[in-house]
Structure 1
């Protein structure tokens, strides 16, 4: 059987390092996909009440990658409205199951969030990560994103 084709059990093969996953925007109609999520995609279990509130918020978006019958990666963002200019898109979270990393899913999800933000009128796209998160820093650099000096207080 050739690369990129499914066997009779429906397992999806990888082609040239890319995961043959479908990127889906989570809405009330597609929220059922979150019933089967691979390890380490989200930081915590999905709470149905919080999910409903999230999905009812027009400024936020959640995309997932579905492969092998489960959610294997997610990317979510918020279009932050401004009183003196267009909204700004912020990538709030990006998570991929370890078994599906380095297969292009995070790139596809980031692009989906970015494209959604552009459709909302956002002209700027912001991403933040901890300086010690070497994997994330390297990933964002490979995408050509520029680091901006920033002081952050908590």
Structure 2
């Protein structure tokens, strides 16, 4: 793990705009505001020597008969910082937040051929559930 690693919860859209190079596309202020305003949405940013190096997002879901669980929605680490333990620390931090919130589990959807992600999640303690199909509705 790199020296001077700090992981903290994002609370301002400006933090996401400053870390925009980590995302798949441009960060939109209005979406950032909505995301950060929802208490069930978590955005944890990893900083190395003050520079944004990675992020993880979690979405807490609550159901009347099941309780609360955490979905690890997305994880990214900037190329120069990969394979240095940052992703593992982000997963561990999100898992700690989930436990603190009383979630009974944490889960993550992963493409079956994404060996790097599968190896990371297994190394951080995740187990494989039986096969699950994901169906998607898409609107124009």
Label 1:45 to 1:68 Cα distance change in 2 as closer, same or farther (>3 A).
farther
Q: State yes or no: 1:26 paired with 2:10.
A: yes
Deviating above 2 A after TM superposition, structure 1's stretches of 4 or more consecutive aligned residues are 31-39
Kindly name which structure, 1 or 2, has the bigger radius of gyration based on alpha carbons: 1
Q: State yes or no: 1:117 paired with 2:98.
A: yes
Give the aligned length.
134
Q: Which sections of structure 1, spanning at least 5 residues, go unmatched?
A: 1-17
User: How large is the Cα RMSD of the aligned pairs?
Assistant: 1.6
Distance, in Å, in 2 between the alignment partners of 1:151 and 1:52 is 32
Which residue in 2 is equivalent to 1:99? 80
Query: What TM-score do you get using the length of structure 2 for normalisation?
Result: 0.87
Q: CA deviation at 1:144?
A: 2.8
Q: CA deviation at 1:121?
A: 1.5
More helix by share: 2
Query: What TM-score do you get using the length of structure 1 for normalisation?
Result: 0.80
Which of 125, 146, 153 is matched with 2:127 structurally? 146
Which residue in 1 is equivalent to 2:56? 75
Q: Which sections of structure 2, spanning at least 5 residues, go unmatched?
A: none
